[in-house]
Structure 1
Amino acid sequence: MRAERVFAYGVAAGLVADLYFGDPRRGHPVAAFGRAAGAVEAALWCDHRGWGALHTLVCAGGATGAAALAAHAVRHRPAAAVALTATATWAVLGGTSLGREARAIGCALEAGDIDVARERLPHLCGRDPRSLDSAQIARAVVESVAENTSDAVVGALVWGALGGVPGLVCFRAVNTLDAMVGHKSAKYLRYGWASARLDDVMGRPGARLTAALAALVGDDTRGAVRAWRADASKHPSPNAGPVEASFAGALGVRLGGTLSYAGRVEHRPVLNATGRPVGAGDIERAARLSRRVGALALATAVAGRLAFGALRAADRRSSRIRNPKGHA
């Protein structure tokens, strides 16, 4: 079985596993990686970019190397290779858990139970929920759904298509490191620089694809494209900007504004200023849009990998025709 078909069957099975099972409550491989990365940080931490770069190299490089060795070990066993790809895909994707958490907060807001919504918000994003009202919580959830559609689904599929199992694992490792140390806080401003910059680079193709797919399958394609073009560059994150702007336009809502992270207040630019304020009902709409974007991203990744494999096979056949065996 060719590598392209192994990838296609594996990621499809992995996405189905995520749809049905979501993330495991115990023993999640990403959580295990996070604990290992935390231990490495404790051993290496120094307020210096070089030590932060070494932390990124050790953690992301180690995880990617282990994945490459595993993929190499099963390269001649198609069934095992499909199983490995499916397992890696299921481990790195988080679309189903993202939707579940978002919907749980949306249900609490619609029921008028803001205390439950505040209690669950930290499961989804790092904002301080204590001072947020219902509209601000709803906005935080929609923004998190948009950004994590790229980080937890589309970006992983893109790098899986480009690099197979090692690509899947490398993307998730870098994204996890960025969430752990890539903050602009006093402690991590220098130490987390390498993780943050590498995450920006690796997240770029997935973010653009997410924004394009959200515009394609959202409720307002023109609005999504207009908001993306007008507002994406205003966002401090080069990858969250296109995604959040496109989601805002597709849903017809206004995102951005003042937010608080662990006592640190930030004033973000408004995205899709002509949209209406986010309501609790928009959380379900954002979750459905995220699901559609994830499904289309799977189809895009598989089609791209199969097309690349077909081009390579055609090139090999052409080379054999031009240089038949036994001729110079």
Structure 2
Amino acid sequence: MGFAGAMVVAMAADAVLGWPSWLFARIGHPVTWLGRLIATVDTAWNRASDPPAFRRAAGVAGALAVIAVSIALGWVLQSVLPWGWIQIALVGVLAWPLVALRSLHDHVAAVATPLQARDIAGARDAVSRIVGRDPAALDEPGIARAAIESLAENASDGIVAPVFWGAVFGLPGILGYKAINTLDSMIGHRSERHEAFGWAAARIDDVANFVPARVTGFLFVLLAQRRLEALSCMRRDARRHRSPNAGWPEAAMAGALGVRLSGPRIYHGSVTNEPWLNEGARDPLAADINHGLAVYRRSMLLLAAVLAILAFA
């Protein structure tokens, strides 16, 4: 955890500044740069005319190449920085755009605001920006459920995981993780095009998120008002989720709020019959999104405090 202090700097910078729109307009964002690299590899190496075994092998090679380039870039940047606390501060500044602390909060809060005002159309539009399911089919509980699930899962993928790997390895760790996570989001799904080519991206992402997902779940448990219910729900239901990792923070959040999450949903016109997390509890409403955001804020503050203690230990 030699770079724990750098991750505190990154979290603080993102909490205060986010990623300013004027900066995005001028230079984009590191994740969009990664996205362009992955899209190039996907176009060049993922050929529909190739047999599935060849496409899977190409996907393995492509994923490893993108990850290796990202790690190498992080190592080069980190190696030219001065030693000591100056290095820690500069690593934190360079890691800042890779921690989605504020943007996650703002995107989820943007769903709660119109939903509380009974503006279902506005809430559907806001939630469509953070989830892949069909927003037209969502009522108030469905919108609230989608927002809370996105908050819980992305707290792990967008903050805890990059901070964890950044604290362990510095810039190579956080850049490598963001490459893994972006690969999974772009090609790691089971579509006809990416069933074979994206196999490695999905498996590598599962490994990279194994520890952070469980850390996130326990952070939610510790900072929930219903601690015992959150712990019980996480232990009972986390493994019922379709993802080996997302179920941990989502089940913990479901128990923390006393609501049921997951369950059947519609993707691209097709119903997927996912099991419920915290089955038997009530459906979430707009107010529960704000309660979930409160748990999220407290959990991220605790994470930053633990990292600060490790930095000074």
Fold equivalence (TM over 0.5): yes
Conserved? CA contact 1:227–1:245, under 8 Å: yes
CA distance in structure 2 between the aligned counterparts of 1:292 and 1:89, rounded to whole angstroms: 22
Cα offset, 1:75, TM superposition: 4.7
For residues 217-256 of structure 1, the aligned pairs below 5 Å read 217-256=223-262
Q: CA 1:84/1:43 → structure 2, altered by over 3 Å: closer, same or farther?
A: farther
Alignment of 1:23 onto 2:24:
no
Structure-2 residue corresponding to 1:128: 134
Alignment of 1:84 onto 2:90:
yes
CA distance in structure 2 between the aligned counterparts of 1:245 and 1:30, rounded to whole angstroms: 28
Question: Of the candidates 213, 220, 223, which is equivalent to residue 219 of structure 2?
Answer: 213
Structure-1 residue corresponding to 2:300: 294
For residues 284-323 of structure 1, the aligned pairs below 5 Å read 284-304=290-310
- SS where residue 273 of structure 1 aligns? coil
Structure-2 residue corresponding to 1:278: 284
Conserved? CA contact 2:5–2:311, under 8 Å: no
Higher relative contact order (CA 8 A, sep 6+): 2
Cα offset, 1:199, TM superposition: 0.5
> Normalised by the size of structure 2, how large is the TM-score?
0.91
Cα offset, 1:241, TM superposition: 0.8
Conserved? CA contact 1:157–1:297, under 8 Å: no
Structure-1 residue corresponding to 2:79: 72
Cα offset, 1:117, TM superposition: 1.4
Q: CA 1:233/1:70 → structure 2, altered by over 3 Å: closer, same or farther?
A: same
Cα offset, 1:18, TM superposition: 0.7
- Spell out, residue by residue over 1:93-134, the C-alpha distance to the aligned partner (whole angstroms, 9 max, x if none): 112111111111111111111111111222212122121112
Q: CA 1:302/1:262 → structure 2, altered by over 3 Å: closer, same or farther?
A: farther
Structure-1 residue corresponding to 2:40: 39
Tell me the matched-pair count: 302
Cα offset, 1:230, TM superposition: 0.9
Conserved? CA contact 1:95–1:291, under 8 Å: no
Conserved? CA contact 2:100–2:158, under 8 Å: yes
- Spell out, residue by residue over 1:234-287, the C-alpha distance to the aligned partner (whole angstroms, 9 max, x if none): 111010011110110011111111112223321111111242210011111111
Cα offset, 1:65, TM superposition: 0.8
CA distance in structure 2 between the aligned counterparts of 1:53 and 1:251, rounded to whole angstroms: 40
Structure-2 residue corresponding to 1:311: none
Cα offset, 1:31, TM superposition: 1.3
Conserved? CA contact 2:233–2:255, under 8 Å: yes
Structure-1 residue corresponding to 2:158: 152
- SS where residue 135 of structure 1 aligns? helix
CA distance in structure 2 between the aligned counterparts of 1:54 and 1:192, rounded to whole angstroms: 11
- SS where residue 127 of structure 1 aligns? coil
Conserved? CA contact 2:258–2:282, under 8 Å: yes
Structure-2 residue corresponding to 1:191: 197
CA distance in structure 1 between the aligned counterparts of 2:269 and 2:68, rounded to whole angstroms: 33
Q: CA 1:305/1:177 → structure 2, altered by over 3 Å: closer, same or farther?
A: farther
> Normalised by the size of structure 1, how large is the TM-score?
0.87
Cα offset, 1:51, TM superposition: 0.9
Structure-1 residue corresponding to 2:8: 12
Structure-1 residue corresponding to 2:174: 168
- SS where residue 175 of structure 1 aligns? helix
Paired residue type of 2:67: A
Instruction: Give structure 2 stretches of 5+ with no counterpart.
Output: none
- State the identity %: 37
Judge which range, 90-99 or 23-32, deviates more: 23-32
Conserved? CA contact 1:251–1:285, under 8 Å: yes
- SS where residue 130 of structure 1 aligns? helix
Paired residue type of 2:10: G
Instruction: Give structure 1 stretches of 5+ with no counterpart.
Output: 308-328
> Which has more radius of gyration?
1
CA distance in structure 2 between the aligned counterparts of 1:173 and 1:265, rounded to whole angstroms: 30
CA distance in structure 2 between the aligned counterparts of 1:128 and 1:75, rounded to whole angstroms: 49
